[in-house]
A = this chain, B = another copy of it.
């Protein structure tokens, strides 16, 4: 029972609507300033300041001061994972939500923190697990590296960080896992660098070009 206050404390940080809005606005991995976040959440800057201080204090957010601005971003992939885990409930309880073209695009491919999510993200994950590119303990196999090399990715391209190489992240729209971790980030970065897809501004949508989508799916074949 002694451990419950800790996890309850974290949950309480997400439980406030204002803080929740801010966290969701940061889901794409960008860094926003305090006043921007206040505006998005519909609260004054005093209130936002109080909220942000709590979030930074618990390492749910990271803060970086630049001049007279303070930029806030998610504390790490585990924060995004938590938010996605919560979204599973919403997508479950209200299934017939308005499904416009933008909603469709989001389900198709989007960024989750810094890696690929949605149908395309799940397809990638499934192929890597099913095709033996990843072992059971989520390390990239020799076969996996061979396939990655086919599109120009080598271990040298990995960002330097102590984050785990691969993680499974639950996808709220697909309700299945997609690939997170450094390898997930590396692959998404590469997809963008190859111009197979581009990020739509002010949204989490990853828009594949027809040709890029064909090449991506071919690569998974």
Interface residues of A (CB under 8 A from B): 1-12, 14-17, 19-21, 24-25, 40-42, 58-60, 78, 81-90, 92-94, 170, 175
Contacts and interface: CB of A to CB of B under 8 A. Distances in A.
B8 A16 contact: yes
Given A1-B40, A85-B82, A90 B6 contact: yes
Could you say how many copies of this chain the assembly holds? 2
Contact of A11 (B15, B84, B88): B15
A81 B85 contact: yes
Contact of A93 (B24, B59, B92): B59
Contact of A87 (B2, B7, B87): B7
A22 B26 CA distance: 31
A85 B85 CA distance: 7
User: Which 6 pairs show the lowest CB-CB distances between chains A and B?
Assistant: A3-B92, A12-B15, A11-B14, A8-B20, A11-B15, A4-B20
B6 A89 contact: yes
Contacts of A87: 3, 7
B15 A3 contact: no
B90 A10 contact: yes
Given A11-B14, A24-B3, A25-B1, A89 B85 contact: no
B82 A78 contact: no
Nearest to A8: B20
A7 B83 contact: yes
Contacts of A170: 78, 81
Contacts of A25: 1
Query: Which of A2, A4, A20, A58 counts the most chain B CB atoms within 10 A?
Result: A4
A79 to B, nearest CB: 8
Contacts of A92: 2-3, 6, 59, 78
A3 B85 contact: no
